[in-house]
Copies of this chain bind each other. A is one copy, B any other.
């Protein structure tokens, strides 16, 4: 590792073998030294989950000039926590999650293991970015994302991010992209979330998570969903502080005995 170059810590929730993370490494290699600590298999939908009931391991996978790759038996969040205390030679300049297969806009930020990576980097005081593409094809051509990934990373290396905030970047399914739009988290709700199948041994059903997302503000033009649905790359700044300050103020009138 070259101490003169930026150091980027990368993880994801699709595992260290996913195409998206390996493409991301190749996009960022010209700009920085890179350490990957990623799950040893798929961890989609793991949110900010941490492994509290079992021990976790981290194992070297490969080491080439400026790129060290490790796999970890834990969650995406564990990967960042463990990397920062055991693997990195110094505090990374950035933490990046991705490139994720699947849409992390709107309320999906709460379920996303990719954003678990990013929120953890952010909670550790490191500028952090999540990249996702709204496409689940494991052989997806990620090359159209490259110039935008590089620009956004360069911008954050240059400007930094405020303490306690990070970026959630989502690419539409289809390139070419119309450009970049910043936007807020869309209000909306998942429904019809379970496909049921009879249990093969009888006695009840198995339920498989699925569902449809209903956008509750389809007319709004300042949201992450609007950007993605209209062919733009969406960037939403996300904060660690989840306090509802408006309600906090209103609750001053609540009385308890």
Contact = CB atoms under 8 A, between A and B. Distances in A.
Contacts of A53: 42, 44
A151 B257 contact: yes
A190 to B, nearest CB: 7
Contacts of A107: 123, 240
Interface in A93-146: 107, 109-111, 116, 119, 123-125
B56 A45 contact: no
A248 B244 contact: no
B247 A162 contact: yes
B256 A185 contact: no
Given A207-B86, A247-B237, A256-B152, A52 B45 contact: yes
Identical chains in the assembly: 2
A181 to B, nearest CB: 9
B123 A119 contact: no
Contacts of A185: 240-243
8 contacts: A47-B47, A50-B209, A55-B207, A81-B193, A110-B119, A123-B189, A155-B256, A162-B247
Interface of A: 42, 44-53, 55-59, 77-78, 81-82, 85-86, 107, 109-111, 116, 119, 123-125, 147-148, 151-152, 155, 159, 161-162, 164-165, 179-180, 182-185, 187, 189-190, 192-194, 196-197, 199, 204-209, 235-248, 251-252, 254, 256-257
